[in-house]
């Protein structure tokens, strides 16, 4: 079957690929482009481990087709740090030990980045509801919420 040619922007770089019509954007990122930071925890949009930002909108990349990325702008966890300078959220996740196994971490970081972009001063409740689409089974979310609270304070002051 002939592939669909797609030209898109990923973490600021123009990227071109061929994909099948039934292939998800998550499969394209992971299997065709080697961007394995986004994880498949369910494939049904329930766990958020594959979260990416698509044209300023937080989405589960398992629910987007690869072909739909044509002409759009994609942000993944691989694009969060600037060189060896971690994003404030990445640094705060490390300092607060907001990860244990770490499989959900890329999704949480992307979701938190999107949350703080839209609401730079969220309450605890707003953080909890803002991140309710991302499942973590290790931490009980306590240290994740604290890391995001701390990052918000630092980012506001920046």
Instruction: Point out which residues bind another protein (CB under 8 A).
Output: 20, 22, 27, 30, 35-44, 46-47, 49, 76-78, 80-81, 86, 90, 93-97, 99-106, 109, 124-125, 127-129, 131-146
**Distance of CA 66 to CAs 34, 51, 70, 71, Å?**
14, 14, 8, 12
In this complex, which beta carbon is closest to another protein, that of residue 6 or of residue 136? 136
In this complex, which beta carbon is closest to another protein, that of residue 40 or of residue 68? 40
Q: Minimal distance in Å, beta carbon 8 to another protein? A: 18
Give the closest residue to 91 by CA, choosing from 80, 100, 101, 76. Answer: 80
In this complex, which beta carbon is closest to another protein, that of residue 102 or of residue 120? 102
Q: Minimal distance in Å, beta carbon 43 to another protein? A: 6
Q: Which residue has the tokens 């691989």?
A: 78
Q: Minimal distance in Å, beta carbon 24 to another protein? A: 11
In this complex, which beta carbon is closest to another protein, that of residue 71 or of residue 123? 123
Q: Give the pairing type, strands 4-10 and 73-75.
A: parallel
Mind giving me the DSSP string for 64-103?
SBGGGGTT-EEE-GGGSSBTTB--HHHHHHHHTT--SS-S
């Amino acid at each position: 079957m002939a592939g669909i040619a797609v030209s898109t922007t990923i973490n600021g770089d123009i990227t071109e690929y061929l994909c099948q019509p039934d292939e998800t954007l998550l499969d394209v990122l992971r299997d065709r482009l080697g961007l394995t930071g986004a994880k498949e925890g369910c494939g049904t949009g329930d766990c958020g481990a594959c979260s990416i930002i698509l044209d300023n909108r937080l989405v589960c990349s398992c629910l987007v087709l690869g072909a739909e990325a044509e002409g759009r702008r994609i942000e993944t966890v691989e694009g969060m740090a600037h060189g060896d300078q971690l994003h404030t959220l990445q640094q705060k996740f490390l300092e607060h030990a907001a990860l244990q196994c770490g499989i959900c971490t890329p999704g949480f970081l992307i979701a938190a980045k999107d949350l703080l972009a839209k609401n730079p001063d969220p309450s605890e409740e707003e953080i909890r509801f803002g991140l309710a689409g991302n499942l973590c089974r290790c931490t009980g979310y306590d240290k994740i919420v604290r890391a995001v609270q701390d990052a918000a304070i630092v980012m506001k002051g920046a």
